[in-house]
Amino acid sequence: MRSYLDVAVLQLSSQSSVAGNLARVGELVGEAAARGARLVALPENFASMGGDAAKVAVAECIDTLGGPVSSALRKLAMAHNVYIVAGGLPELSGDSARPFNTSFMIAPGGSLAARYRKIHLFDVSLADGTVHNESASTSRGDYAPVISVVDGATIGLTICYDLRFPELFRALVDLGARIVTVPAAFTVTTGKDHWHTLLRARAIENQIFIVAPAQVGSHPGGRKTYGKSLIIDPWGDVIAQCGDRESIAVARLDFAYQDEVRKALPCLEHRQAR
């Protein structure tokens, strides 16, 4: 394994136009690669934030990376020699009205390196009157923690609401994860109070790097997202962050430092069996 990995998070304000969103993704992936990123992570719903009907319309088969969205990302990965984590794309399921919410990773050579179907669906009624019922338009993935390897470093995949379920992160660490991606479209209401706190907690308790690209701003249907895409180190320090507009943040993940943290405070070794 290399001693470090340069990563980038893309912060998008995706709208209903898939072509427009993909054009912006292409620009930012190119910028991230030019700044040295080897792994580029996209937020949830990067291809479309147009609502349930648009979700069904954009859904595609990911197996062969032959659909309009996945093939465009495949070309970007190959052109820039980077790994791309596509943070959340509707994937065709057995229910035509309820695709999976899927995060998948494409290797620099253009192959499908990993696929994770979201298992925790966002069904909530918030105090400000915001209501989300993700399960009405999304099929739940089977509980199966997903890892892959980037230049020798093991990476785990999650999506957005998974952040509130620490047992999933611990399962990924048990499988060897040093990095966990958390692509998201966090609401403003929950984001301002919980985004930083929960991401830092997952990093600290598992002594992992967190790579969390997010949506930001206003989207169709009146939806607003929090932004503040983050990269966090195993001590819980924010080492890179986006602001309140479309942008990228780049950081170097130092695995020697991660080993030092785990050696100095060996909490993962101190866990007791139930």
User: In the sheet that 39-41 helps form, which strands lie side by side, from edge to edge?
Assistant: 112-117, 100-106, 83-91, 39-41, 4-11, 247-254
Question: Three-class SS string for 153-193?
Answer: EEEEECCHHHHHCHHHHHHHHHCCCCEEECCECCEHHHHHH
91 annotated active-site: no
31 annotated active-site: no
How far apart CA 242 and CA 231 sit, in angstroms, is 9
Cβ within 8 Å of residue 174, ≥6 positions away: none
157, 116 contact by CB (below 8 A): yes
Nearest-10 crossing angle of helices 166-174, 196-206: 30
Half-sphere exposure of 61 toward its Cβ, with a 13 Å CA cutoff? 4
160 annotated active-site: yes
Selected catalytic residue, list 60, 91, 118, 228? 118
Selected catalytic residue, list 160, 228, 242, 246? 160
For residue 200, the one-letter residue type is R
| Residues recognised as catalytic | 44, 118, 160
